[in-house]
Structure formats: C-alpha cells, structure tokens
Amino acid sequence: MKVYQLSKGNPIKDTLELLQEIQAQDPNHFYDIQGLGVTGYAADVLGGALNADASIIETIAHMKSAQKAFGESINVICDIGGQDIKVLFMENGMMKNFRLSNQCSAGNGTLLQSMAKQFGVHTCRKLCRFSLCSQTSPYV
C-alpha cells in the first residue's frame, strides 16, 4: 500500500488525512499500525500533537528506508523536496558525504510540480512514472 499527498500547509491535518487514507485502503484491517515515527520540518509539531513514538533525522530516515528497500549497495540517495534538495552519497552502507541546496530555486519539487502541470501531468505518481521511463538523463 502506498499513500502520498502534498503538504497543504497543516502537518497535523495532512497526517490525519494520510492515516484516514490508509484506513480507507485497508477495509479488512490487514495493517495494524502499532507506532508512529516522525521526521522532517514538522517533526516537533507532529511528535507532540500525535504522541509519536520516535523522531528521526530526515536524512537518516531516507538512508535506512532506501537500504531496507534496495539493500546496502546504494550509492546515492536524492531527495527533491519542495524547499530544498538533499543528496546523500553512500559507501559501504554508510553516509560518506551529504549535499544540501536551499538556494533561490532550490524548491525544485515545487518547480517540477508546476512544470508538470503545464505539460498536463497532474499527479506526482504520473510524473514519477514518466521519469522512470526516461532513456536519457537531462543535460544541465
């Protein structure tokens, strides 16, 4: 099961909506949520408001999730967010280096969304599918 939505500016309400979507997609109660971990810009707010069990640094959460999904041989993890871009360089299962861009146009996630809408791609999932089908990398 995958649920995702863009932030609407209220992290508590956004999280509750995501939890409701999980419930809606699980009518037979297959999933049993036994804990809640928070990360990112709203971790402090969410942790207190929703009585989270854990709060973890965002880059560590990315690294651990990627390793669980794809194994220890990951070389690069790139997080294109609405406000910044984070790139983690990995070696032997450990973070070797880290780069953060939060300069002028660093909100590339927001820029990509706007451009995608102009080209008639109205959902993040559709944009991801298009990007994964690409035969070449863009020249920057």
| Digit-coded pLDDT (tens) for 38-86 | 988 889 999 999 899 999 998 889 899 999 999 989 999 988 777 778 8
The CATH superfamily assigned to 74-134 is ATPase, nucleotide binding domain (3.30.420.40)
Domain boundaries, the chain: 7-56, 74-134
Q: What is the arithmetic mean of pLDDT over 2-9?
A: 81
In sequence order, the 6+-apart residues with CB closer than 8 A to the CB of 2 are: none
Helices 108-118 + 124-132 axis angle, to 10: 90
CB 55 within 8 A of CB 38: yes
Q: What is the pLDDT of residue 105?
A: 60
Predicted model pTM:
0.65
